[in-house]
Amino acid sequence: MANCIFCKIASGETPANVLYEDDAILAFADINPQSPEHILVIPRKHVENAAALSAEDVNLVGSMVAAANKLAEDRGIAADGYRLVFNVGRHGGQAVDHLHLHLLGGRQLGWPPG
């Protein structure tokens, strides 16, 4: 989708620190990390957010979670635990309207979120 920053990262038009990619999804370092490890996992396909998922996208989300779990293992934060987050809409704190899964870890995270 034109003018979508994450579509541009997926196409390679905008650079990112890509940590994993396959035909359907991409993972890259968050530009403004909120924890020692902060990675975003996105589908290459433009989907606005988790609320906009169609039935055919359900497998996509499974792949995104599996990729995040693998990255957590590979980057050594899995044993201590981590957080997977989908922000949805304005009250959810969603700033980029292209579906993305946050992988946060590497420190004790607070709860509830602010």
Binding of Zn ion by 100 (CB under 5 A): no
Q: Which of 4, 84, 96, 109 binds Zn ion (CB under 5 A)?
A: 4
Binding of Zn ion by 1 (CB under 5 A): yes
Binding of ligand AMP by 3 (CB under 6 A): no
Say how far apart CA 100 and CA 84 lie, in whole Å.
10
Binding of ligand AMP by 90 (CB under 6 A): no
46 given a catalytic annotation: no
Query: Which residue in the list 38, 46, 100, 102 is annotated as catalytic?
Result: 100
Say how far apart CA 74 and CA 79 lie, in whole Å.
11
Which one, 1 or 31, has the nearer CB to ligand AMP? 31
| Cβ count near 84 (within 10 Å) | 15
Give me the phi and psi of 33, to 5 degrees please: -65, 135
Instruction: State yes or no: cis peptide before 36, omega within 30 of 0.
Output: no
Binding of ligand AMP by 32 (CB under 6 A): yes
Which one, 61 or 72, has the nearer CB to Zn ion? 61
Nearest Cα neighbor of 26 from 58, 52, 56, 64 is 64
Residues taking part in catalysis: 100
